[in-house]
Chains A and B, each alone.
Chain A
Amino acid sequence: MAVGPDPFAAMTAFNRFGLGARPGDLAAAAGDPRGFLLEELHAPGSGRIEPGDLIASPQALQMFFADQQQQRIAREAAAMAAVAPMPAANAMAEPAMAGKPVEGKPKPAEPPAEQKIFRAEAMARFKAQLDASCGFVERLVAFWSNHFAVSVAKGQFIRVTAGAFEREAIRPHVLGKFSQLLIAAESHPAMIFFLDNQRSIGPGSRAGRFDAKGLNENLAREILELHTLGVGGGYSQEDVTALARIITGWSFAEAGGETGEPGSFFFKTNWHEPGAQTLLGKTYAQEGRAQGDAALLDLARRPATARHVASKLARHFIADDPPADVVDALTKTFLDSDGDLGVVCAALIAHDRAWSAPATKIRTPSEFVAAAMRATGFALSEPGQALGLLNALGMPLWQPAGPNGYPDTVAAWASPEQMKLRLDASWQMAQRARDVGSPLSVLDTASGLAASRETREALQHAESRQQALALLLMSPEFQRR
């Protein structure tokens, strides 16, 4: 590396790897940008969010179950009332029983529990992004959260658990062993529900023999295709079915509590397909949950998995078409370290190409909003503004269109509609940042000496502070990474 502070390397640390610089950050990192990133990686508790007031998934799900139960009771009462019409006088006295809206009844002042849970989790995530020294670890959290995508579009079950899923299954493992991350993600109630595994019954299991129901291969397929080997990773339809049988019984305890704390992982022995299963040529004779754990451990260690993960990391951090030497180096590190993701990330930082490749990628909406808030010192007091911007920019929080997560290519995020939306979003953010001071000092914060002459001039010639700030947020230095 060059001797002395390198403004471009410091900007690379914050833009390519992090979530953008806050005032003073660039100077702090300029002496040793790689060391700056490593320091964040090695900080104790890095990636984690202390629960504080946040609710663990079993408790969140218990609220959800209780809410469902209440709705069921109300529905049944309404149905009863409909089949047995009451005398008119009686009906007047008890309008609620007829399922009609009650006139004049005050609306509850409290927002519904699931909304409160979701917003609290969102706020904790945004706060972690704003407070991060660089944001590399938060980028890794978002990366793995997207790799193991769940979507709140599936319904309230995910809405109340999506934040806890990221906090409980993803965050503790982003710098640990991939195998542990994999097992934590696949056994979390949010993932089990999102990909329907709680309904999958082994045809030869005790439950399966008394019920016409059977396998659902959704989770098994996505484990192989998306989470481990990757498409083209050398598995067949038979392997999908075998893995589906292996993980039958991976479920969660329901509302009744007979099987354990409601909302926590529960292995349903009666639903599990008995006997040995052969996956990718290897036979798994373990009983119960151990069979699935063993299969996932092996999947986590396969070369195809190492290459799949390495390619995705290189695509995310360096270029859509990931450089082969980086992919090779990360694959080797992954295999040599038994999937130690902290070691793999250090290898990524150590690779010269990670610092020399041109900034061809564009920030995702989530990265863009976080970087804009960091650069302008935005004091986020409630999550609504950031959530609204993410919705408008087509990347609503924890709501990708499918289990493959949000796209990670330039074409997807530098589209015509997206650029027009970013222009509008930049204008909104610039108008909200009323006491931001000189836009040129914000430019120094975000890009420092790496800012181009054209961008600097465009800001100087802007017709208002707000316009200058919006231009800064739209500038190539701010959009590209």
Chain B
Amino acid sequence: MNSRVFSRRRALQGMSVACAAAFAPRPLSAAGARDPRVVVIILRGALDGLAAVAPVGDPDYAPLHGALALAPTGERAGLPLDGFFALHPAMPAFARLYREKRGAVVHAVATSYRERSHFDGQDVLESGFPGPGRTESGWLNRAVAVLPSSGGSARRGLGVGVTAPLVMRGPAPVLGWAPQGLPSAGDSLAMRTLDLYRHRDPALAAALESGLDTERVATQGGMSDDARKNKGGMDQPGGMRQASAGAARLLAAPEGPRVAALAFDGWDTHQNEGGVTGQLATRLSGLDGAFEELEKGLGEGWKDTIVLAITEFGRTARINGTNGTDHGTGTVALLAGGAVAGGRVIANWPGLKANQLYQGRDLAPTMDLRAVLKGMLADQFGLSAQALAEKVFPESASIAPMKGLTQA
């Protein structure tokens, strides 16, 4: 163990103690009180955490990441975070948020999943269950379902995209929104179809009703036709920005949802991952744009918001034969928003020497992502540890919610 690890660990413990007193469930949006919002961005394909937030201070990092490695200074310099870690230069907005103490990084983190299948990895990440094969609902939806006074429009979730990400599917009502290319069918047909469904197919009635509700919220929020038009896939910076701007608009509406999920594709960088520039840099600039659009679009609401970007697992620490990385384990989670107690990289750094890597291949996970997710939900919505361990993340009683993620 080097001194870095020690200080980091101690800092984390110190923070926990300092924040314990401040930690208490907060009231939901009573008059004039906080009006908390949570946005979860799923990065599908497994983000290279060592490329997004590079441990430039670790002497073993550059040899492993080779030509893709960021450097502390020079042409391949990352954006400085804390001297040990540097942020990918495609993310200036997140770097600013970090400096303003509204952005934070959790590093060497992973779900409980230890295999290397994207699809199972995403199921575990999004379902909130300890293992794969349980995909009937997502943890964010179940969190919405256990919020007090669920049923009001503010207590509905929002799934961005033509199909809602699994994390947002489940028992709680969910609005859906996606940039689209078709003119609206109009109320008369909508009402008649809904009426037919109510008689013949209640499940389709519920889905259509929810879809129509979103349309209403979007229209009342003043979303223009241009804003709704598709500006690129969810693996393109334009598409990521647009989806985030649309979500922000809906989350900012007084009657809008307070919890949203988005999914961005294209993080499976098996070849030509790129370093300072290249395909990963392009995706990261899209993610950076998403943070920026959410900040801009949420306006007043930003101060009570946490945006969390997570991915199913990381990538191999060593670059592969085709200048990319294969499926790995430990990675990063990024938090941004006015409610975040930021300006820090939360990590219990495992090191990158051969014997410190997980299975000799991956950044070893030293933190369970569920601790972060639980901490965020506890801080933002006052969910009890019991509800979190039983309803939201089943079979997770041994994993304590991380404390102090939000501003006191």
Q: Does A470 contact B (CB under 8 A)?
A: yes
Q: Does B196 contact A (CB under 8 A)?
A: yes
Cβ contact within 8 Å between B326 and A417: no
Q: Does A338 contact B (CB under 8 A)?
A: no
Query: When the two chains form the complex, which single residue of A393, A394, A415, A423 contacts B189, counting CB atoms closer than 8 Å?
Result: A423
Q: Does A179 contact B (CB under 8 A)?
A: no
Cβ contact within 8 Å between A401 and B175: no
CA distance A475 to B208 in the complex (A): 12
Q: Does A253 contact B (CB under 8 A)?
A: no
Q: Does A166 contact B (CB under 8 A)?
A: no
Find chain A residues with CB under 8 A from B215 CB: 420
Q: Does B51 contact A (CB under 8 A)?
A: no
Q: Which of A8-16, A309-317, A424-432 contacts B (4 or more CB under 8 A)?
A: A424-432
CA distance A474 to B208 in the complex (A): 11
Cβ contact within 8 Å between B214 and A420: yes
Find chain A residues with CB under 8 A from B235 CB: 153, 401
Cβ contact within 8 Å between A225 and B117: yes
In the complex, the chain B residue whose C-beta lies closest to that of A479 is B204
CA distance A42 to B54 in the complex (A): 59
CA distance A421 to B193 in the complex (A): 13
CA distance A461 to B192 in the complex (A): 9
Q: Which of A69-77, A119-127, A376-384, A405-413 contacts B (4 or more CB under 8 A)?
A: A405-413
Cβ contact within 8 Å between B196 and A471: yes
Q: Does B83 contact A (CB under 8 A)?
A: no
CA distance A169 to B183 in the complex (A): 38
Cβ contact within 8 Å between A394 and B359: no
In the complex, the chain B residue whose C-beta lies closest to that of A473 is B193
Question: With A402-B268, A458-B195, A471-B189 known to touch, is A231 a contact of B163 (CB < 8 Å)?
Answer: no
Q: Does B342 contact A (CB under 8 A)?
A: no
Q: Does A414 contact B (CB under 8 A)?
A: yes
Q: Which of B88-96, B317-325, B378-386 contacts A (4 or more CB under 8 A)?
A: B317-325
In the complex, the chain A residue whose C-beta lies closest to that of B173 is A416
Q: Which of A86-94, A213-221, A324-332, A348-356 contacts B (4 or more CB under 8 A)?
A: A213-221
Q: Which of A131-139, A194-202, A300-308 contacts B (4 or more CB under 8 A)?
A: A194-202
Which parts of B137-162 form the interface with A (CB within 8 Å)? 159, 161-162
Query: 0/1 per residue, B259-280, Cβ < 8 Å to A?
Result: 0000001001011000000000
B253 nearest CB across to chain A (Å): 16
Find chain B residues with CB under 8 A from A231 CB: 115, 117, 119-120, 132
Query: 0/1 per residue, B309-339, Cβ < 8 Å to A?
Result: 0000000000011101011000000000000
CA distance A467 to B196 in the complex (A): 13
CA distance A362 to B326 in the complex (A): 36
Query: When the two chains form the complex, which single residue of A416, A458, A471 contacts B208, counting CB atoms closer than 8 Å?
Result: A416
Cβ contact within 8 Å between B189 and A419: no
A301 nearest CB across to chain B (Å): 22
In the complex, the chain A residue whose C-beta lies closest to that of B193 is A474
Interface of A: prevailing SS: helix
Q: Does A31 contact B (CB under 8 A)?
A: no
Cβ contact within 8 Å between A471 and B212: no
Cβ contact within 8 Å between A216 and B271: yes
Find chain B residues with CB under 8 A from A201 CB: 321
Question: With A394-B178, A414-B207, A423-B185 known to touch, is A196 a contact of B163 (CB < 8 Å)?
Answer: no
Query: 0/1 per residue, B160-197, Cβ < 8 Å to A?
Result: 01111000010000111110111111101110110111
Q: Does B101 contact A (CB under 8 A)?
A: no
Query: 0/1 per residue, A178-221, Cβ < 8 Å to B?
Result: 00000000000000000110011101000010001111111001
Find chain A residues with CB under 8 A from B183 CB: 424, 427-428
Find chain A residues with CB under 8 A from B182 CB: 392, 421, 424-425, 428
CA distance A411 to B159 in the complex (A): 12
Cβ contact within 8 Å between B118 and A467: no
Query: 0/1 per residue, B84-121, Cβ < 8 Å to A?
Result: 00000000000000000000000000000001111110
Which parts of A29-54 form the interface with B (CB within 8 Å)? none
Query: When the two chains form the complex, which single residue of A225, A402, A416, A458 contacts B175, counting CB atoms closer than 8 Å?
Result: A416
Find chain B residues with CB under 8 A from A428 CB: 182-183
Cβ contact within 8 Å between B233 and A153: yes
Find chain A residues with CB under 8 A from B118 CB: 402, 404
Q: Does A462 contact B (CB under 8 A)?
A: yes
Query: When the two chains form the complex, which single residue of B116, B200, B208, B265 contacts A420, counting CB atoms closer than 8 Å?
Result: B208
Find chain A residues with CB under 8 A from B174 CB: 416
Q: Does A388 contact B (CB under 8 A)?
A: yes
Cβ contact within 8 Å between A420 and B271: no
CA distance A288 to B177 in the complex (A): 51
In the complex, the chain A residue whose C-beta lies closest to that of B205 is A419
B37 nearest CB across to chain A (Å): 20
In the complex, the chain A residue whose C-beta lies closest to that of B168 is A415
Find chain B residues with CB under 8 A from A221 CB: 116-117, 327
Q: Does B45 contact A (CB under 8 A)?
A: yes
A244 nearest CB across to chain B (Å): 9
Query: 0/1 per residue, B208-223, Cβ < 8 Å to A?
Result: 1111111100000000
CA distance A462 to B120 in the complex (A): 46
Q: Does B374 contact A (CB under 8 A)?
A: no
Cβ contact within 8 Å between A388 and B181: yes
A302 nearest CB across to chain B (Å): 18
Cβ contact within 8 Å between B208 and A419: yes
Find chain A residues with CB under 8 A from B230 CB: 391
CA distance A232 to B211 in the complex (A): 36
Q: Does A455 contact B (CB under 8 A)?
A: yes
Find chain B residues with CB under 8 A from A394 CB: 161-163, 178
Please give the residue numbers on chain A whose beta carbons come within 8 Å of chain B beta carbons, in ascending order: 153, 195-196, 199-201, 203, 208, 212-218, 221, 225, 231-232, 237, 240, 362, 388, 391-394, 401-402, 404, 407, 410-421, 423-428, 452, 454-455, 458, 461-463, 467, 470-471, 474-476, 479-480
Further 5 A-B residue pairs, CB within 8 A, beyond A240-B116, A394-B163: A212-B321, A394-B161, A402-B45, A452-B200, A471-B193
4 smallest beta-carbon distances between A and B, as pairs: A214-B321, A394-B162, A417-B176, A420-B211
Please give the residue numbers on chain B whose beta carbons come within 8 Å of chain A beta carbons, in ascending order: 44-45, 115-120, 132-133, 159, 161-164, 169, 174-178, 180-186, 188-190, 192-193, 195-197, 199-201, 203-204, 207-215, 230, 233-235, 265, 268, 270-271, 320-322, 324, 326-327, 359
